[in-house]
Amino acid sequence: MLKDLFIGLSQNEFLNTAAKKYGLKLGAQNVVAGTNLDEAIQSIKELNAHGISCTVDNLGEFVYKKEEAAEAKKQIIEVIEAIHTNQVDAHISLKPSQLGLDIDYVFCLENVKEIVDRASKYDIFVNMDMEDSKRLQPSFDILDELSGMYDNLGTVIQAYFFDAKDDLKKYKDCRLRIVKGAYKEPEEIAYQDKIDIDRNFIKLIEWHLLNGKFTSIATHDHKVINYVKDFVSVNNISKEKFEFQMLYGFRKDMQLRLAKEGYNFCTYVPFGNDWYGYFMRRLAERPQNLNLVAKQVFNKKTNTMLGVAAGAFLLGRLTKQHKNK
């Protein structure tokens, strides 16, 4: 029920627009690395100092005009230049919808190509995030068209899809991030039960560790992480073949511990004013995320219901203020 609530909120364009006007709220300031590029670069430097690399997402949603997509492209290229200029250990994550996928496929393709081309000049990797099912195949089509020209482009495989194993095999020669999935998908194409999703998640990780190029394992679940540690040990898989990934602001102690243990670790660093949809999806993914945010916003004794109540209150306040303008 909570997942459906937050997924619905993440897709609310009205609330997204209202949230932009009031800065980082609802605890988002703890899991979004600032609203501008300078703040993001500073966060990256701090993580790098602990042996942690980063993937940077210049947040953006609800892009329906070519001018908006062109501006997003410009901003992402500025991130690439900042990564190069500051010589930080970081790469790019981008969403095709932010670059015009919902407007025109060819237009989006050219935008992604320009970004990948610029990044390739500095040997910076670009990860193309996957979104909901209606954007899935066009996103794979972009990967198909560009991967033959560039070797610095990879993508994401979402474990809740029935076809995830087929996609994993098709793109085994790409650097892949494997995730459970953050959108609400119909039961005809995706697992609905957490047990089924977790089981498929593990199967995908195992297969790609044994057969793929490089595996980014995106999870906050310590049980999965411990399982992977045992699996790579038993199968003599080099630590250079994979990395663990977590989101900025979540399970900080575990992020630092894994890096100290000598595992490749990458933190997903989102930044920008367009934080609302990203933040709602993080809350939707698992109830534990809501607990983590509530504890950071209030105190360690704060329970989940207080976090929900506070979030609902602030969302209502944003909505009321926006309507009154």
CA atoms within 13 A on the CB side of 178: 34
Q: Distance (Å, rounded) from C-alpha 101 to C-alpha 138?
A: 8
> 66-86 and 37-48 are packed helices; what angle lies between their axes, rounded to 10 degrees?
40
175 is catalytic: no
- Phi, psi (rounded to 5 degrees) for 14: -60, -50
CA atoms within 13 A on the CB side of 236: 0
**Per-position DSSP letters for 186-197, written without gaps between them:** -TTTB--SHHHH
Q: Distance (Å, rounded) from C-alpha 209 to C-alpha 246?
A: 18
129 is catalytic: yes
Among the listed residues 129, 167, 198, 274, the single catalytic one is 129
Q: Distance (Å, rounded) from C-alpha 100 to C-alpha 30?
A: 29
Q: Distance (Å, rounded) from C-alpha 171 to C-alpha 143?
A: 9
Distance of CA 77 to CAs 61, 83, 114, 224, 271, Å? 17, 10, 9, 35, 14
Strands (E), the chain: 53-58, 90-94, 126-128, 153-158, 175-179, 214-218, 242-247, 265-271
First vs last C-alpha separation in the chain: 32
**Please, are residues 270 and 32 in contact by the beta-carbon 8 Å criterion?**
yes
Nearest to 276 by CA among 96, 14, 55: 14
Cβ neighbours of residue 93 closer than 8 Å, sequence gap 6 or more? 55, 56, 57, 126, 127, 128, 129, 268
The structure tokens listed for 55 are 């993937």
Among the listed residues 102, 118, 167, 177, the single catalytic one is 177
Q: Give the active site residues.
A: 129, 177
